[in-house]
């Protein structure tokens, strides 16, 4: 099981861990930047819909690897607009529950395709 090493910074900001230690000989899973694009190619118009779609894909990838959100060790969130942070955080919190991977959220000037409001990149590890 991955071990949290919190020094107190994260709890001042949000629901994530300052650091996660992965045990020896763990299996690793790295996801690509995952947008909120549906499997049929449609793109929800708002950040909530895109976040729900992206997190649905992340959970599916974890499941295929025999993992859960509790195996996430790091998540990087890329948002196009800072005003979308509160709505995005609500969706993220709903999908992660009590899991607290190390986390970084960036507001970026552009994403790979017009219409993308976010991308999520995750790293998981399981012994």
CATH number of the structural domain spanning residue 47:
3.30.1330.40
Domains in the chain, number: 1
Mean pLDDT of 9-19: 81
| Closest listed residue to residue 102, CA positions, set 10, 7, 33, 32 | 10
Q: Are strands 3-4 and 20-21 parallel, antiparallel or unpaired?
A: antiparallel
**By residue range, what is the domain housing residue 54?**
3-126
Position 87 scores a pLDDT of 98
pLDDT, tens digit, for every residue of 37-80? 999 999 999 999 999 999 999 999 999 999 999 999 999 999 99
Q: Are 58 and 31 in contact (CB under 8 A)?
A: yes
């Amino acid at each position: 099981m991955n071990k949290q090493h919190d020094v107190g910074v994260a709890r001042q900001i949000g629901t994530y861990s300052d650091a996660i230690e992965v045990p020896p000989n763990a299996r690793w899973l790295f996801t690509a930047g995952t947008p909120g694009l549906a499997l049929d190619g449609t793109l929800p118009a708002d950040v909530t819909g895109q976040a729900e779609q992206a997190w649905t894909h992340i959970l599916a990838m974890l499941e295929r690897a025999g993992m859960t959100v509790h195996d996430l060790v790091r998540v990087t969130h890329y948002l196009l607009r800072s005003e979308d942070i509160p709505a995005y955080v609500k969706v993220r919190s709903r999908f992660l529950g009590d899991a607290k991977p190390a986390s970084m959220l960036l507001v970026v000037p552009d994403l790979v395709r017009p219409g993308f409001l976010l991308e999520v990149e995750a790293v998981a590890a399981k012994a």
